[in-house]
């Protein structure tokens, strides 16, 4: 499912709404469409536990009932985790996204040989006043300082002995991964692959093609009007329906 593009995923969820008999509202006009929007498009090849979609409904059952109906219409590889009511005053999720959490792992054969040095190097990397990268845009390439858009970056090792079941029952070992929180949304959007590429280049190393496995874990809005950001998961903006 991670290789399904965003537009195809949108069309898929429109079909799911019909199959689950969700009383979704349609727009008016000559060509009515379901009122639905995704918070942040997910890149092809990225898995996720933290995607959000807004829908407008005319009527609804309880959160538990609606989850059962929607999940019964979903295919393997996609699962609805939560169904919550938003206040009438809520802005669309797409307009308020400010940041996202990612977990990154190296594919087999691409892991840094000096993991301890690799992991400890993130501190010096983030201590830089600027991190300049070349971003490709529709108008060409331009240099951009991405340091203000990196909120968290750390490498960790976990013993998989207690996690083996969650990884499909494979043999236990050491799970080496990178946790990252970066800017997301319409005003600033930073791809985790670009951060990793900049870090590897700062070490005089190359990031191999298809070296990374990326998963998005959560999407946030910023509750602070100014100063230090106050990130809040979009999940917390709603309430369960009894």
Residue 73's pLDDT is what?
97
Interatomic CA distance for residues 45 and 230, integer angstroms: 29
Q: Where are the alpha helices (DSSP H) in the chain?
A: 6-19, 63-73, 93-96, 115-126, 192-202
Q: Is the Cα torsion angle 221, 226, 229, 230 positive or negative in sign?
A: negative
Tell me which residue of 199, 183, 203 sits closest to 191, measured CA to CA. Answer: 183
Please check whether residue 58 is in contact with residue 35, taking contact to mean a CB–CB distance below 8 angstroms. no
Residue recorded with tokens 């998963």: 215
14, pLDDT greater than 70: yes
- 100: confidence class by pLDDT, cuts 50, 70, 90: very high
| Predicted confidence (pLDDT) per residue in 141-200, tens digit | 889 999 999 999 999 988 765 444 444 444 457 889 999 999 999 888 999 999 999 999
* Tokens found for residue 56: 């407008």
* Tokens found for residue 94: 């797409």
Q: Would residue 184 be called left, alpha or beta, if left means φ above 0 and alpha means ψ between -120 and 50 degrees?
A: beta
Residue recorded with tokens 């830089």: 128
Please check whether residue 42 is in contact with residue 6, taking contact to mean a CB–CB distance below 8 angstroms. yes
| Predicted confidence (pLDDT) per residue in 111-141, tens digit | 888 899 999 999 999 999 999 998 777 777 8
Percent of all residues in the chain with a pLDDT value above 90, rounded to a whole number: 77
Please check whether residue 189 is in contact with residue 146, taking contact to mean a CB–CB distance below 8 angstroms. no
Range 60-86 average pLDDT: 96
36, pLDDT greater than 90: yes
- 209: confidence class by pLDDT, cuts 50, 70, 90: confident
Read out DSSP for 78-108? ------EEPPTTPPPHHHHEEEEEEEEEEPT
Please check whether residue 48 is in contact with residue 234, taking contact to mean a CB–CB distance below 8 angstroms. no
């Amino acid at each position: 499912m991670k290789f399904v593009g965003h537009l195809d995923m949108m069309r898929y969820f429109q079909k799911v709404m019909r199959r689950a008999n969700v009383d979704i509202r349609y727009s008016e006009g000559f060509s009515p469409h379901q009122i639905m929007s995704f918070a942040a498009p997910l890149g092809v090849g990225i898995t996720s536990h933290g995607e959000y979609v807004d829908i407008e409904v005319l009527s609804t059952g309880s959160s538990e009932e609606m989850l059962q109906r929607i999940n019964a219409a979903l295919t393997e590889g996609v699962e609805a985790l939560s169904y919550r009511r938003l206040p009438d005053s809520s802005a669309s999720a797409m307009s308020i996204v400010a940041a996202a959490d990612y977990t990154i792992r190296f594919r087999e054969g691409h892991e840094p040989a000096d993991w301890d040095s690799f992991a400890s190097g993130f501190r010096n990397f983030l201590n830089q006043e600027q991190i300049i990268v070349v971003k490709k845009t529709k108008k060409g390439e331009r240099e951009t300082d991405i340091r203000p858009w990196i909120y968290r970056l750390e490498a960790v090792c976990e013993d998989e002995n207690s996690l083996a079941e969650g990884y499909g029952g494979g043999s236990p070992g050491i799970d080496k991964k990178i946790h990252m929180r970066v800017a997301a949304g319409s005003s600033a959007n930073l791809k985790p692959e670009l951060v990793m590429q900049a870090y590897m280049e700062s070490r005089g190393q190359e990031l191999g093609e298809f070296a990374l496995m990326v998963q998005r874990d959560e999407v946030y809005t910023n509750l602070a009007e100014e100063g230090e950001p106050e990130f809040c998961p979009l999940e917390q903006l709603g309430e369960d329906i009894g």
